[in-house]
């Protein structure tokens, strides 16, 4: 599982998701795209606390 490059958890343990790594962003696969990041393919500083990370960043390790 690759680590997200730009998304992070803040001091209050809230997840800030970069538009380029969000399911509703330009690289995501959600049907309903976000009005702020629907065409963001590369990180440009945009993101929010309401987004959800793409599944490739949230998959659990199956090999242990």
Taking the C-alpha atoms of residue 51 and residue 4, their distance in angstroms, rounded to an integer, is: 13
**Model confidence over 46-57: pLDDT tens digits?**
999 999 999 998
Q: What is the pLDDT of residue 60?
A: 58
33-47 confidence digits (pLDDT tens): 999 999 999 999 999
Share of the chain above pLDDT 70, in %: 89
Q: Is pLDDT of 22 > 70?
A: yes
Q: What is the pLDDT of residue 64?
A: 41
d(C-alpha 54, C-alpha 64), whole Å:
22
- φ, ψ of residue 20 to 5 degrees: the values are -70, -15
């Amino acid at each position: 599982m690759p680590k997200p490059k730009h998304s992070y958890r803040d001091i209050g343990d809230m997840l800030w998701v970069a538009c380029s790594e969000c399911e509703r962003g330009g690289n995501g696969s959600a049907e309903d795209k976000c009005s702020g990041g629907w065409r963001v393919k590369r990180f440009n500083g945009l993101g929010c606390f309401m987004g959800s990370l793409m599944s490739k960043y949230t998959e659990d390790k199956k090999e242990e």
